[in-house]
């Protein structure tokens, strides 16, 4: 247990996930205060910030662009202040859905067939079978997510996916069970299965309380559970490693986990999955926050990745 620290919680920010980030940050700040830390909060809504004097560590509760793409991490590295999560380089790579997927594929993880599209008038991709999933390459995990069931739906879905700017990753949709694995301090947490009551696990179902059911630990046998957890550790290692991340997969009927993406700043709201997984091990929300702070202090992300 480390002594009480001066901790700055960074929350909000300029991304499309600002609202959720504010909720995450408020929950974290309350928990850290209950533990006896001296806590300040900064909302870099314009992309600029100045840390309070004597800040010993920054708890990053930012989501999406600016928070997860390495931008704020680079600024904190320049200041020499440790922070939670992953380094600038790892954050930047993991936030790029194509680069992260290619890194994990090189490491031998299963991935869906895909292509990258950046033109609004592009036709339905040759060589890919419907249904398809469209993901903006440089957005948070649920922002701009589109599902294409028929060829007729392709133009409008592509237009919506491109609205946020930048290219779109187009993948064949894998049939199976959607799961996520938290990895904290090199330890995989229990597998969480994600079961939306209606439709897919999009932004609305992700952040609306009661819209999705979860099983934690997920109901897989011991061998499949180990396979999924090991894949989570491998995925984080493939993008460069770090103190904390959450890795998403689709588990096929043959129980092979198919990589979806790495989230280097998992949400910390009441519906967030990292706290659910930690709770399944007996680690409460405040304990999880403390664990992440201790990792940041003892193993600063910049030092951990060189």
Residue of 91, 141, 157, 205 with catalytic role:
141
| Given 207, 232, 242, 272, the catalytic residue | 207
**Whole-angstrom Cα distance, residue 127 to residue 299?**
45
- Based on the residue annotation, tell me whether 156 is a catalytic residue of this protein: no
Is 201 catalytic? The answer is no
User: CA-to-CA distance for 166 and 121, rounded, in angstroms?
Assistant: 14
Contacts of 120-129 with CB under 8 Å at 24 or more apart are 120/158, 120/159, 120/162, 122/158, 123/154, 124/151, 124/154, 125/170, 128/170, 128/171, 128/172, 129/172
Crossing angle between the packed helical segments 97-106 and 88-95, to the nearest 10 degrees = 100
CA–CA gap between residue 14 and residue 90 (Å, rounded): 21
15, 205, 263, 272: the active-site residue? 263
**Cβ 227 vs Cβ 221: under 8 Å:** no
Asked if 246 is an active-site residue, the reply is yes
Q: Are 41 and 8 in contact (CB under 8 A)?
A: yes
165 is known as an active-site residue? no
141 is catalytic: yes
Out of 68, 201, 248, 272, pick the active-site residue.
248
CA 36 vs. chain centroid, Å, equals 28
Q: Are 138 and 15 in contact (CB under 8 A)?
A: no
213 catalytically annotated: no
Let me know the angle formed at the C-alpha of 96 by 167 and 294, rounded to the nearest 5 degrees. 155
Query: Is 248 assigned a catalytic role?
Result: yes
Contacts of 90 (CB under 8 A, 6+ apart): 70, 239, 240, 241, 242, 264, 301, 305
12, 17, 67, 77: which one is catalytic? 17
Catalytic residue among 64, 240, 242, 267: 267
Active site annotation includes 207: yes
Question: Which of the residues 21, 144, 246, 272 is marked catalytic?
Answer: 246
Q: Which residues are tagged catalytic?
A: 17, 141, 207, 246, 248, 261, 263, 267
């Amino acid at each position: 247990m480390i002594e009480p620290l001066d901790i700055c919680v960074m929350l909000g920010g300029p991304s499309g996930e600002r609202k959720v980030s504010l909720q995450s940050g408020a929950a974290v700040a309350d928990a850290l205060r209950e533990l006896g830390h001296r806590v300040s909060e900064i909302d870099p809504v314009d992309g600029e910030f100045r840390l309070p004097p004597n800040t010993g560590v920054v708890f990053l509760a930012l989501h999406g662009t600016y928070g997860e793409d390495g931008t704020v991490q680079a600024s904190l590295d320049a200041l020499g202040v440790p922070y939670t999560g992953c380094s600038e380089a790892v954050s930047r790579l993991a936030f790029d859905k194509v680069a992260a997927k290619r890194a994990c594929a090189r490491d031998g993880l299963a991935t869906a067939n895909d292509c990258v599209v950046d033109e609004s008038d592009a036709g339905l991709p040759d060589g890919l079978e419907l249904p398809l999933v469209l993901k903006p390459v440089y957005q948070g995990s649920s922002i701009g997510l589109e599902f294409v069931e028929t060829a007729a739906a392709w133009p409008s879905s592509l237009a919506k996916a491109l609205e946020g700017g930048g290219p779109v990753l187009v993948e064949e949709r894998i049939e199976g069970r959607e799961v996520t694995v938290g990895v904290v301090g090199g330890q995989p947490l229990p597998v969480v299965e994600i079961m939306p009551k209606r439709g897919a696990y999009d932004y609305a179902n992700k952040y609306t309380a009661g819209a999705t059911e979860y099983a934690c630990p997920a109901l897989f046998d011991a061998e499949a559970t180990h396979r999924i957890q090991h894949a989570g550790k491998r995925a984080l290692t493939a993008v460069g490693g770090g103190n904390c991340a959450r890795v998403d997969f689709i588990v096929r009927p043959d129980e092979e986990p198919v990589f979806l993406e790495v989230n280097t700043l998992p949400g910390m709201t009441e519906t967030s999955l990292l706290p659910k997984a930690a709770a399944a091990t007996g680690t409460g929300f405040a304990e999880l926050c403390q664990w992440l702070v201790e990792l940041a202090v003892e193993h600063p992300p910049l030092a951990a990745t060189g």
